[in-house]
Amino acid sequence: MTSWTEDPAFWAISRKSMFPDSSFEAAGSEVAAVFQLAGLLGKGPLDVLDLPCGPGRHSLALARAGHRVVGVDLTQSYLDEARRLLDAEAPRGSVELVRADMRAFERAGSFDLAVNLFTSFGFFEDIEHDRQTLRLFHRNLRPGGTLFIDTQAKEVLARVFQPKGWVRLDDGTVMLQERTIAPGWDWVDVTWTYLKDGREDSVTFGHRVYSGAELTRELRESGFSDVQLFGGWDGRPFDQDAKRLMVVARA
């Protein structure tokens, strides 16, 4: 059975809610925050791995900031969209796009910085696949290189969890959201249903939810050191007021 991570239909249907125009507009400030929190301001140009890169919003922002970028994603339609965006707006030759699974992409010792943004870690039911992904991030970084992960945290999710909700997207689509937490709070199953003009589309997926301590442990066991946690793009502490789990780890 094909996983949702490998299903082109899943990514096509969910594109409108995952990457609204506002997410592209925010990419520049998010990249600036990555460099601030990682202690890399003024460093560069760097070789940066953006994995997964989706439709290229952070790859573009990184290239505009003067860095050399390799964007990796498994979804061909997103890579095609990223290529059109980058050809139109990025400095020529600043971004290489590669179609690959995050569990398999390897260019040992090639990068100064790797970014994994927008809750793009924890996709796999077998936790060993997450661990393989972290080991590859470590292998792909140069000694002293930095991994930056932006994800949902178990502590934050527990504080704000709602089993059902809805939002109206920019194009008028009504998006219904249903969430189920597994016993032990290590996994969440999600269904998104989109309603517009009498049409209904639905996608279902799940992902692992890490606490700050759990992700720190997995990173250290994968070879990383000097792991730092932040609670949001503004650099707030990872405490009871955290909004996200931002991780900076050194190879």
pLDDT at position 44 is 80
By the 8 A CB rule, do 233 and 29 touch? yes
Question: Mind listing the pLDDT tens digit for each residue in 153-211?
Answer: 999 999 999 999 999 999 999 999 999 999 999 999 999 999 999 999 999 999 999 99
pLDDT at position 122 is 96
pLDDT at position 1 is 59
CATH number of 4-153+210-250: 3.40.50.150
- For the chain of 251 residues, list the mean pLDDT of each consecutive stretch of 10: 89 95 96 98 94 98 98 98 97 97 98 98 96 98 98 96 96 96 95 96 97 98 97 97 97 97
Going from N- to C-terminal start, the domains of the chain cover: 4-153+210-250, 156-206
By the 8 A CB rule, do 43 and 113 touch? no
pLDDT at position 166 is 97
pLDDT at position 174 is 97
d(CA 147, CA 247): 8
What angle is formed at CA 107 by the lines to CA 100 and CA 38, rounded to 5 degrees? 95
pTM listed for this prediction: 0.97
